[in-house]
A and B are shown apart, each in its own frame.
Chain A
Amino acid sequence: MNIFNKLIFIIFGVCLCATTQAKINVFTCEPEWADLVRMLGGDHVKVYSATTAYQDPHRIEARPSLIAKVRRADLVVCTGAELEIGWLPMLQRQAGNSRIQRGQPGYFEAASFVERMEIPEKIDRSQGDIHAFGNPHVHLDPRRIIKIAEQLSFRLQQLGAEHSDYFKQQYTVFKTKWLDNIKQWEQSAMPLKGKKIVTHHRDFIYLFDWLGIQSAGELEPKPGLPPSPGHLSRLKQSIKQDPAIAIIYTPYQDTRPAEWLSRETGIPHIQIPYTVGGSDNANDLKGMFTETIYALLKAMQ
């Protein structure tokens, strides 16, 4: 009995020890959350991003390598709001990991912690691939990122309770710097206020909402439908009457519709990083916002 107790104690001790030593294993659906987790988790997290800036986060398959990663994750951080509806639920069902199921502390859905725009009155596919939970591309508003960061920090403190002071500290440092950044970005982006921009998809609305930019339409006739010649020529007419400063698209979108419209109208077309890794300078969230504003200002000249 005595030996048995000792054994239990040793096993328990080893397990406890193992968890204290180990870093929190984080799987993120998109690279923006990977960077945020790195900033907030520092030395105590190990992060893997399922996608890069060159992949459409809506169109990923639940491929074997991702199942293997989710199998071992302690925390899954995704945008949510149905952005990953085609593949994340499948990964959760395939991986055999109880920690990261919906409703568990190991599942974090960023968009659920902020107010979303464009929540539809009703779901009607004739309006394109729209989502019941609103537009999911929330990471392009740095004010919303703060709210998400706060929640994410709470989650790290909960999962890695032994380092909760460290995580709190990381968040405080992040917040101070980030508020400074927002001030600088808002100042430099002043000239963009009220300007019109054409986008490929409705994926920049949170950026526009933040900086007071107006949308001059999308290259897609409906969300999720590829640009069609008829729609592009109508768009050409409308932006000729009411000029836009730029036609923008992400690194994973087809460049040809934007190039065509740019040739026809003389309005510059620009690839915007959209997320971390989307250009050479956008190697973190801060770089991504700086680069985005810089590129848009350049288009105005």
Chain B
Amino acid sequence: MSTRNTLFVLFILLGIPSVSQADSNTPGKTANPKISIILDGQLNQYSRDPENYALPGFPLSGEAGLSDEGFALGDNELILSGDIDNKFYGNVSIGMHQHEGDVEFDLEEAYIEAVALGNGFTAKAGRFFSGIGYLNEIHEHAWDFTDAPLIYRGLFGDHLRDEGVQLRWVAPTDQFIQLGLEVGRGDTFPAGGAANDGLGTAALFIKTGGDIGRSHSWQIGLSHWSADVEGRTGGDHDHGGATEIPTFTGDSHFSGIDFIWKWAPNGNSIRTNFKIQAEYFQRREQGNIEMVGSSPLETSTYDGKQGGWYLQGVYQFIPRWRVGLRYDRLSSRNNGSDVSVLDEAGLVSQGHKPERVSLMLDYSRSEFSRFRIQFNRDESRPTADNQLLLQYIMSIGSHSAHKF
């Protein structure tokens, strides 16, 4: 409730003056802050009940899962950004989601960035999507598929996000080399409890990339993340009225590698272009799981190993039309002193290795509007679910950034 009130205040503070600025439409001037609104709607059909969705072996966050069946709102978003002064840049994005009949506001990102430090340094502070991996920093509406890769859903709850600081450095070389370091609060999934007095997570990433001739460009990244987790909840189970919440306390860390390669004839992506991307992550967790709410209190030691990857290709075969194919695969090996506790926490996979094949086709009328149809054969659960997802994504307002 209080988040909602805060957001209303935010709307009043930021929304009204900027709307009146936009109305005046002074020639040669654009509003500051830049405002852009993303409209995203979906129609989803599943052959299995989405309420029972699970990724056996992976502790799911409350957020992760399938979008509502039938007509549903996707990632509707209000983005305000702009230069604060000649040294700082600021960005706020507010997600508006539908969840079980209610509209929820979610402060997706709210950060400042010091862009004029020089010598290749840039610093960011606030709440932001972590720089680990390739897809993580990209907002959902800019993804090539309607839903997150399974490994993102399983490990991060779709996005790894935290409050904290990030320091990046670009090397003074012709070859692009970037180092990044993050320290975060660690209050939200996959961390929890804001350990170490609110300095619960740390991340490190390195990216390198370049061009090959005029038609090809690529990037490879390595990342590592670690957290002290104090009481991470998730995957709660109902047992005839009494709710028992599996709660994890211990160490969690993951490493990953990501790769992207893009092709466009002579670097001109207007008619045709192709991109291929893949990411692999492996997580290790050690500690204890308690079933909070159970009596007597059920506990187990927990030694978890979860990993997975996806590979996807997207091809624009004629202007405005693209097809894409994606394959996801996960596996896990979790051990503990009490298997029934692990089972209730969703950590027992019984040898099931979740996988999914996705096929998508999308059409962009302009740079600002896109329609998409996607089919998934989803074997997250042991029996396959056939999923059909229809989506529109449109944007109003300032021009979106063309991130690589």
A residues contacting B by CB (< 8 A) are 51-52, 54-56, 59-65, 67-69, 71-72, 82, 85-87, 89-90, 92-99, 101-103, 119-123, 125, 128-129, 132-134, 224-226, 252-254
For window 253-271 of chain B, which residues contact chain A by CB distance below 8 Å? Answer: 262, 266-271
- B residues less than 8 Å from A225 (CB atoms): 365-366
- 9 A-B pairs with the lowest CB-CB distances in the bound complex, closest first: A64-B209, A64-B176, A98-B118, A96-B120, A68-B176, A86-B402, A122-B25, A98-B116, A54-B266
Establish whether residues B403 and A90, one from each chain, have CB atoms under 8 Å apart when the complex forms: yes
A252 B270 Cβ-Cβ under 8 A: yes
Complex-state Cα separation, A102 to B120, whole angstroms: 16
The answer on a CB contact under 8 Å between A60 and B402 is yes
B274 sits at the interface (CB 8 A) = no
The chain B residue sitting closest to A48, CB to CB, is: B174
For the complex, what is the distance from the CA of A94 to the CA of B219, rounded to whole Å?
15
Given contacts A63-B217, A122-B25, A224-B366, contact A68 B175 (CB under 8 A): yes
A56 touches B270 (CB 8 A): yes
> Smallest Cβ distance from B266 to chain A, in angstroms?
4
In the complex, A132 Cα to B399 Cα: how many Å? 12
Contact status of A125 and B173, CB under 8 A, knowing A54-B267, A56-B270, A90-B401: no
- A134 CA to B176 CA in the complex, in Å? 34
B367 to chain A, nearest CB (A): 6
Chain A: minimal CB distance from B304 (Å): 34
Interface SS majority for chain A: loop
Within 16-66 of B, Cβ neighbours of A (below 8 Å) are at 25, 27-30
Q: Cβ of B29 and Cβ of A62 under 8 Å apart?
A: no
Asked if B208 lies at the interface with its beta carbon under 8 angstroms from chain A, I say yes
CB < 8 Å neighbour of A52 from B25, B168, B214: B214
Q: A52-B214, A64-B219, A123-B25 are in contact. Are A253 and B270 (CB under 8 A)?
A: yes
Q: CB within 8 A of A89: which of B172, B267, B271, B401?
A: B401
**Which of A63, A93, A102, A128 has most chain B Cβ within 10 Å?**
A63
Assuming A62-B401, A68-B173, A86-B400, is B117 touching A96 (CB within 8 A)?
A: yes
Given A68-B173, A86-B402; A52-B367 close (CB under 8 Å): no
Q: How many residues of B contact A (CB 8 A)?
A: 57
- Total A-B pairs, Cβ < 8 A: 140
| CB nearest to A223 among chain B residues | B366
Return chain A residues, CB-CB under 8 Å to B176.
Answer: 64-65, 67-68
Q: Whose C-beta in chain B lies nearest to the C-beta of A225?
A: B366
Contacts of B117 in A (CB 8 A): 96, 98
Q: Which residues of A contact B396 (CB under 8 A)?
A: 125
Residue in contact with B120 in the complex, picked from A69, A71, A103, A129, CB distance below 8 Å:
A71
Give Cα A186 to B184, complex, Å: 63
Write 20 A-B pairs (CB below 8 A) sorted by A numbering: A54-B267, A63-B262, A64-B210, A65-B176, A86-B399, A87-B401, A90-B401, A95-B170, A96-B118, A98-B118, A119-B27, A119-B28, A120-B27, A129-B367, A132-B27, A224-B367, A225-B365, A253-B270, A254-B271, A254-B319
Contact partners of B177 in chain A: CB under 8 A: 68
Specify which of B86, B171, B172 is in contact with A103 (CB 8 Å cutoff). B86
Interface residue ranges of B186-239 to A (CB < 8 Å): 207-211, 214, 217-219
Distance of B393 from chain A, by nearest CB (Å): 15
8 A Cβ contacts from B383-398 to A: 396
Cβ contacts under 8 Å, B171 to chain A: 68, 71
Residues of chain B whose beta carbon lies under 8 Å from any beta carbon of chain A: 25, 27-30, 83, 86, 89, 113, 115-122, 168-178, 207-211, 214, 217-219, 262, 266-271, 319-320, 365-368, 396, 399-404
A132's partner among B28, B208, B269, B367 (CB-CB below 8 A) is B28
Do A65 and B210 touch (CB < 8 A)?
yes
Given A52-B267, A54-B268, A252-B268; A71-B172 close (CB under 8 Å): yes
Within the complex, what minimum Cβ distance (angstroms) separates B58 from chain A?
32
> What's the least CB distance linking A104 to chain B, in Å?
8
B-chain residues with CB within 8 Å of residue A97 when the two chains form the complex: 118, 120
Partner of A72, one of B113, B172, B207: B172
| Contact residues in B for A254 (Cβ distance below 8 Å) | 270-271, 319
A sample of 12 more A-B contacts (CB under 8 A), given A64-B208, A71-B172, is A54-B268, A64-B217, A64-B218, A64-B219, A68-B210, A82-B399, A86-B402, A93-B122, A94-B122, A123-B30, A129-B399, A132-B27
Tell which of B83, B122, B174, B402 touches A68, judged by Cβ atoms closer than 8 Å.
Answer: B174
Using CB atoms, name the residue of chain B closest to A222.
B366
Q: Contact between B174 and A129 (Cβ–Cβ < 8 Å)?
A: no
CA distance A67 to B268 in the complex (A): 19
CB-defined contacts of A59 to chain B, threshold 8 Å: 269-270, 402
- CB A46 to nearest CB in B, in angstroms, measures 12
Q: Out of A93, A98, A119, A134, name the residue touching B113 (CB < 8 Å).
A: A93
Q: In the complex, what residues of A have CB within 8 A of residue B219's CB?
A: 63-64
Chain B residues closer than 8 Å to A133, beta-carbon distance: 28
Q: Closest residue of chain B to A128, judged by CB? A: B366
Most chain A CB inside 10 Å of its own CB: which residue of B27, B218, B268: B268
Known interface pairs A102-B83, A253-B270. Does A65 touch B403 (Cβ–Cβ under 8 Å)? Answer: no
